[in-house]
Amino acid sequence: MSAPLLSRRDLEFYLYELFEVETLASRERYADHNRESFNAAMDIAEKLAEEYFVPIRAKVDMNQPDWDGEKVIMIPEIKRAYDAVAEAGLICPDQDYDMGGMQLPLVVSACAMGYLTAAASTTNGFHALTAANANLLETHGTQEQIDTWVSRLRTGEFAGTMALSEPQAGSSLADMRTKAVPQADGTYRLFGNKIWISGGDHELSSNIVHAVLARIEGAPPGVKGISLFICPKFLLNDDGSLGARNDVQLAGLFHKMGGRGQTSTALNFGENDGAVAYLVGEPHQGLKYMFHMMNEARVMVGTSGATLAMCGYQYSLEYARERPQGRKPSSKDPLSEPVMLIEHADIRRMLLAQKAYAEGSWSLCLFASQLVDDWKTHPEESGRQAAFELLDFLTPIVKTWPSEYGPKANDLAIQVLGGAGYTNDHPVELMYRDNRLNPIHEGTTGIQSLDLLGRKVPQNGMAGYQRCIEGISADLQKAEGIRALVTMCDALDLAVKDLQRTTTSLLSAMTSQDIDLVMANSVRYLEFFGHVVVGWMWLRQGMTAAKALEKASDDDAFYKGKVQAMNYFARWELPQTAVWADLLCGLDDTTYAMQAEWF
């Protein structure tokens, strides 16, 4: 069975109707662009995805990377796909022309890259990580470092990684131990072990540039003593050609439930004389810098969760349209023709829920991308500042909600297919497995929730929080009186009020109660906030659709679907938040009071 990876009609809805990206062409950076060039970028990516990635999707999964003790073995088709993406200039289409990019708005680039993620969420991860690594170095490196590394990363000649976790330090970065010893020539030597390093070794590029966090000898303890280093697999000669092999060795590959298109590695730095490394920026500022890359990676993770949800939705939708099975409860005549799966209300529920999760998540991720664009290119300083503030605030939500609800969508995609969905004959079970990593990497859901409640909400006098609530209120006001939006407005208004009450209650408790108790249910708070924000995105989609429906067109069915999915979210999802509000406001101590020995 063949199904579209993503719905192009839907992508165009976000770009040209919801986020009105054509207006960006008025900004100097995007002056060359218009709807045609935006569509062309999506066309290229879709073509590459269909040509190079879809045909090898199952084979990549069946043949996970292996290690022969010397080098990493992957099926050769991956290298072909890797090269094709690089040649098409799709490693960093959002970057400046002179840095090898297409100078596309990130929101457009995200749509284009969506095709690659949908077809090969992890195989394409080599390039995605490389792009993030290049952005990191470009922002914090010296001009010499930029000249040396960034352009060769952006062409795919070199690949990049981020190396944070260690065997004893997963989520707890404060406990990182890798040591950096200063050398007379200004370089450093690294000694230590890193794990879970995606793309940490492979033969796809001529060199691999690790962005490594380590402690300079004598640095302060905890996160305030961590510095950022460039540590390449091969050192460079003065003329830029590849020189000696650096002292960073592959110690092993992790074999995983999914995500088998990418290597996940254990790396040993400095088994011999130490791995030669170059400090980036100031000493002890590494974690701050890395969070530049990490925040980008977090939005990327959310987008991956959303994209796989979109792709699984499209697939199960196509299946439900084509597969006859059974009859409706009202029709008991066994001689009547079976109906298509999509005619059953429960199948529609599963498709509607997927649509609500997938398109809700996806619009949120594109909204975040648009905030990046505004932060970087808004003509006014206040606009740039506002965008940054909201983006910074929303990051844990953008990372988490699509990561948690994306797999739920894929779970429903499997269920729509029934037994067929459980087999390797269809790709939905693979999406489900691939997507399961997203609530874990780049900060687990638990870590994100501590970031949201413990930091993002209170920080800067609650500026980010206020900006978010104001944005929702403004849209609620705009929606007032529009009949198609009443259900959502009522549900969202209630949920926002509950959220405000809950936030006030929790922040006030922070001043008087055990902080461990106040933070105990932070994951539920994050889910609550996520529901409100995704509800907001659905309200915005519903507003756009309702407006379009004012004049009849051939596209009415599309817009009616948007309104119905919005209503699904309003009726089936948002009301749950009232229960969560009660639990949170009451400072429920069930998990806090539970004792280890009672389990």
What's the rounded Cα separation, in Å, for the pair 276 and 248?
A: 9
Q: What mask, x for binding a second copy by CB under 8 A, covers residues 485 to 524?
A: -----------------------------xxxx-xxxxx-
Q: Are 320 and 421 in contact (CB under 8 A)?
A: no
Indicate whether 597 belongs to the interface with a second copy (CB under 8 A).
yes
Compute the least distance from the CB of residue 568 to a second copy, in Å. 5
Indicate whether 256 belongs to the interface with a second copy (CB under 8 A).
yes
Compute the least distance from the CB of residue 543 to a second copy, in Å. 18
Task: With H, G, I as helix, E, B as strand and everything else as coil, classify residue 109.
Answer: helix
| Cα separations in angstroms, 22 against 138, 324, 597 | 28, 42, 60
Beta strands at 207-216 and 179-182: parallel, antiparallel or unpaired: parallel
Indicate whether 267 belongs to the interface with a second copy (CB under 8 A).
no
| Cα separations in angstroms, 56 against 49, 50, 141, 403, 413 | 10, 10, 37, 24, 21
Compute the least distance from the CB of residue 494 to a second copy, in Å. 12
Closer Cβ to a second copy, 244 or 257, answer by number: 257
Ranges within 140-179 binding a second copy (CB under 8 A): 165, 168-172, 174-175
Could you tell me if residue 4 is left (phi over 0), alpha (psi between -120 and 50 degrees) or otherwise beta?
A: beta
Compute the least distance from the CB of residue 381 to a second copy, in Å. 35
Ranges within 440-479 binding a second copy (CB under 8 A): 440-441, 444-446, 449-450, 454
Compute the least distance from the CB of residue 575 to a second copy, in Å. 5
Closer Cβ to a second copy, 102 or 294, answer by number: 294
How many other β-carbons are positioned within 10 Å of the β-carbon of residue 102? 22
How many other β-carbons are positioned within 10 Å of the β-carbon of residue 214? 32
The continuous run of DSSP H or E covering 140 comes out as helix 125-140
Tracing tokens 């500042």 back to the chain, one arrives at 385
Q: Are 323 and 340 in contact (CB under 8 A)?
A: yes
Taking CB under 8 A as the criterion, the residue among 26, 272, 330, 511 binding a second copy is 330
Taking CB under 8 A as the criterion, the residue among 23, 142, 237, 325 binding a second copy is 325
Closer Cβ to a second copy, 185 or 516, answer by number: 516
Taking CB under 8 A as the criterion, the residue among 9, 47, 71, 321 binding a second copy is 321
What's the rounded Cα separation, in Å, for the pair 599 and 592?
A: 13
Indicate whether 357 belongs to the interface with a second copy (CB under 8 A).
no
Closer Cβ to a second copy, 165 or 295, answer by number: 165
What's the rounded Cα separation, in Å, for the pair 330 and 337?
A: 13
Q: CA end-to-end span of the chain, whole Å?
A: 47
Closer Cβ to a second copy, 83 or 343, answer by number: 343
Closer Cβ to a second copy, 437 or 548, answer by number: 437
Ranges within 182-211 binding a second copy (CB under 8 A): 195-196
Tracing tokens 């997507």 back to the chain, one arrives at 435
Judged by CB under 8 A, how many residues of this single chain contact a second copy?
105
Ranges within 419-438 binding a second copy (CB under 8 A): 419-425, 429, 432-433, 436-437
Q: How many residues does the chain have?
A: 599
Taking CB under 8 A as the criterion, the residue among 346, 470, 490, 555 binding a second copy is 346
